[in-house]
Chains A and B, each alone.
Chain A
Amino acid sequence: GAVVSQHPSRVICKSGTSVKIECRSLDFQATTMFWYRQFPKKSLMLMATSNEGSKATYEQGVEKDKFLINHASLTLSTLTVTSAHPEDSSFYICSAGTSGRAGSYEQYFGPGTRLTVT
């Protein structure tokens, strides 16, 4: 299957600072990437869809000015959590879509980034 990397895998930051998370598709080009958040023992929650060369599409209730997404190339999307607060502590996971069988798209996930805001 396709490989997606994320960096960093873990980050601890102080309240009020910003954190950037990188998501890369290593062996394929991804015009679309997705950012999810997952709290302990909870379901995946889609935050936004990242489109190469255009603005991200945010899900309802996700603050676009707080979670800045940039998809500058076909293999890289970044999520910046601005002015982080303890309630932003979570597991952030990106995924990238690639074509599977004719007409289908498969999503592959990165390993995730565990953010802790102190």
Chain B
Amino acid sequence: QKEVEQNSGPLSVPEGAIASLNCTYSDRVSQSFFWYRQYSGKSPELIMSIYSNGDKEDGRFTAQLNKASQYVSLLIRDSQPSDSATYLCAVNGAGSYQLTFGKGTKLSVIP
């Protein structure tokens, strides 16, 4: 059974701070890793993808992957109230479209 674990939160950070979201996965052969943002009542939106060990930066977002530890994280710098949402970690294996999702971490950025 493939599993993706996330702390459900809520994670509260003050505006301007760094928000750190963490995710672990059980399937060692997982190859692709994704972060989705889901606002309340809306569908998930893909915000970051990462495929190799290390960091990947896109604007205020940085995804970090450590395959040896089976760990992926998302850092949000200069957090804004508009970043308040549930963040879903998702993982898939080689040649597979199907994603295994974590249950999501709810982030609240306090003005």
Contacts and interface: CB of A to CB of B under 8 A. Distances in A.
Interface residues of A: mostly helix, strand, loop or mixed? strand
A100 B88 contact: no
Contacts of A97: 97
B31 A104 contact: yes
Contact of B49 (A43, A100, A103): A100
Interface residues of A, number: 22
B43 A105 contact: no
Nearest to A101: B51
A100 B32 CA distance: 10
Contact of A44 (B34, B42, B101): B101
Given A34-B98, A43-B101, A49-B98, A104 B46 contact: no
Interface stretch (A13-21, A63-71, A76-84, A106-114): A106-114
